[in-house]
Amino acid sequence: MTRFSWKKHPELEKELARLMRSGMRPKDICAAMRAAFPEYGLRKAQIVQRMYDLTEHAHGKAIDPLLAGAEKRRIKAEARVRELERMNGALLKSATDIEALIASIEATGAACANMICNVPSELPNAPGASQAARKRTAVLLVSDWHSTEVVRADVTRGINAYDMDTLARRVWALSRKTRAWLRDARRRWDIEQLIVCILGDQYSGVIHNLQETNECDPGFGVVWTGALTGQLIGTLAYDLPVEVHEVPGNHGRFGPKPKHKVPRETFDWLIGAFAHAQLGGLIKDKRIVWDRHNGWFDDFVVYGRRYVIAHGDQVRGSLGIPYYGIKRLISSIREQQAMLDDRERARGETLESVSVYQVLIGHFHRPALVGDMVMNGTVKGVDEFSTHEGMSPVPAMQVGFLVDPEYGTCGVEMFDVSNAVDPHGFALPEG
């Protein structure tokens, strides 16, 4: 085949130079040239090489190095296709393993009815504030316990170690610190109720092959974590009426990929079911209000302000706080709420219809107040992943705050439970 000569076709070279000056991307220039001159059968490599020559001639250097690496990118793409084919085969095998896991969990759950540790329905009333005190509502964020996960001190350089006993001790410390915070707040304000927001990832789960290092099997882990969750909420109900809201996380799912249509198909949902059963007497007496919600989001209204809760895995980002992802999530939630409010007004309903005030999330293990969002920490603390990735070590923390009728969110409290050394006082199942 005769080698194509650009010098014999000045009209082609003139058009190529014009497209290069226009600022188009190299791949778009190639497409435009082939569409404009189909009779010459130009190949992408020919066009790219000529762009390289023209630029080197004019400026003494090559244009974007990616132009000369077109063939390398093709080879990498083919290698990626082969890798994806291998991963697909692994996922098919994983699906079979997941089916066996679900069957095991169902069998374990049926045999664990006698393991539920009931909280007494009759609780003493804590001293209340004076009638003249200003009303406020307390909110506690609970998330990212990653129960049954084991964190080794030798891998985290001695910064943290974690197991189920450590979790129970830290939750016990959370209960004591929260109750002390509430008692102090009630000396100054009339705290009407405590709202507990369970934001997911209560259980470590089986994703990322964590089942290989978890402390126990999923069946017992779910029952044990449900008992711990119920015990925490029960102790908090000694001081105030409690309202519970919950959403699932990403670690609790049964397989490597989330099932968007079935929020209940998670370990988090099963844990909530055990906790809910344990608190049956207090729920019946209206000391605890817990209407279980089937969805990735939930919301509640305090003093005319709507709070929306989510786990936070909807926000894309890593190695820090993904501010732009947070803004996108808040915007999306507000658009959804505006649609719901419009429907209510169209139906002439009198239900409280207010816009989204703040969004409450977990997932990132870093407590923070970021504009319209409150982020919760983790009870687990520093782990092998955060150590390997060079992330700043953050103590094991959960977040609480007060809601004022006039000022909204205020009095944010960071409950540091990383140094909990006292034995816990919970009644938990024994394996």
- Is 155 in the same domain as 57? no
CB 3 within 8 A of CB 50: no
Asked if 44 and 147 sit in the same domain, the reply is: no
Domain match, 275 and 353 both: yes
Residue at token pair 């450590």: 166
Residue 112 included in any domain? no
Amino acid (one-letter) located at 102: I
Contacts of 178 (CB under 8 A, 6+ apart): 140, 236, 400, 415
Alpha-helical runs (H) found in 348-390: 384-388
One domain, residues 150 and 64? no
Query: CA 310, CA 201: separation in Å to the nearest integer?
Result: 11
Shared domain for 201 and 337, answered yes or no, is yes
Of 127 and 24, which is predicted with more confidence?
A: 24
Supply the pLDDT for residue 66. Answer: 45
Domain boundary among 68, 87, 105: 68
User: Do residue 261 and residue 371 come from a single domain?
Assistant: yes
In angstroms, the CA 35 to CA 174 distance is 67
Closest listed residue to residue 177, CA positions, set 130, 236, 251: 236
404, part of any domain: yes
What digits encode the pLDDT tens for the residues 330-354? Answer: 788 788 877 877 777 777 655 555 7
Does residue 108 belong to any structural domain of this protein?
A: no
Model confidence at 279, in pLDDT bands (50, 70, 90)? very high
Give domain status of residue 425, yes or no. no
Both 265 and 371 in one domain: the answer is yes
Say yes or no: 234 and 365 in one domain: yes
The answer to whether the beta carbons of residues 228 and 146 sit under 8 Å apart is no
Q: How many CB atoms lie within 10 A of CB 407?
A: 11
Predicted TM-score of the model (pTM): 0.69
What pLDDT is stored for residue 61 in this prediction? 45
CATH number at residue 178: 3.60.21.10
Residue 144 and residue 265 in one domain: yes
pLDDT category of residue 251 using cuts at 50, 70 and 90:
confident
Give the least confident one: 2-16, 148-162, 168-182: 2-16
Q: Which of 68, 84, 100 is the last residue of a domain?
A: 68
Range of the domain at 34: 10-68
| Rounded Cα–Cα distance for residues 93 and 86 (Å) | 11
- 278 plus 192 within the same structural domain: yes
With beta carbons less than 8 A apart as the criterion, state whether 297 and 356 touch.
Answer: no
374-431 residue pLDDT tens:
999 999 988 877 766 667 678 999 999 999 999 999 999 999 999 998 999 998 988 6
Residue 371's pLDDT band (cuts 50, 70, 90):
confident
User: Can you tell me the mean pLDDT for 151-178?
Assistant: 92
Q: Count H helices, E strands: the chain? A: 11, 11
If asked whether residues 39 and 154 sit together in one domain, one would say no
Of 39, 68, 97, the one marking the end of a domain is: 68
116 occurs within a structural domain: no
Residue 266 to residues 99, 127, 191, 275, Cα–Cα distance (Å): 13, 39, 34, 15
Residue 185 lies in a domain: yes
Average pLDDT over residues 296-318: 84
Q: Which of 114-118, 238-242, 390-394, 402-406 bottoms out in mean pLDDT, i.e. has the lowest?
A: 114-118
Mean pLDDT of 249-272: 76
Q: What is the pLDDT of residues 35-89, one digit of tens each?
A: 999 988 888 888 888 888 887 655 444 444 444 555 566 667 777 777 777 777 7
Tell me whether strands 397-404 and 408-416 are parallel, antiparallel or unpaired: antiparallel
Task: For residue range 176-190, list pLDDT tens digits in order.
Answer: 999 999 999 999 999
Which residues lie below 8 Å from residue 85, measured CB to CB, with a gap of 6+?
none
Q: Please say whether the beta carbons of 30 and 48 come within 8 A.
A: yes
Domain annotation covers residue 354: yes
Closest CA to 234 of 425, 79, 87, 82: 425
Please compute the mean of the pLDDT values over residues 21-25 and round it to a whole number. Answer: 83
Instruction: Specify the amino acid at residue 120.
Output: P
- DSSP per-residue codes, 227-288: HHHHHHHHHHTTTS-EEEEE---STTBSSSS--TT-TTSBHHHHHHHHHHHHTHHHHHTTSE
Report how far residue 220's alpha carbon sits from residue 217's, in angstroms, rounded to the nearest whole number. 6
- DSSP 3-state percent helix, strand, coil across the chain (nearest 5): 45, 15, 40
Number of domains into which the chain is organized: 2
Asked if 24 and 160 sit in the same domain, the reply is: no
- Decide if 413 contacts 401 (C-beta within 8 A): yes
Q: How far is CA 354 from the centre of its chain?
A: 25
Mean pLDDT of the chain: 82
pLDDT value at 291 more than 60? yes
The torsion angle over the Cα atoms of residues 339, 376, 400 and 332, rounded to 10 degrees, is -10
Instruction: Determine, yes or no, domain membership for 98.
Output: no
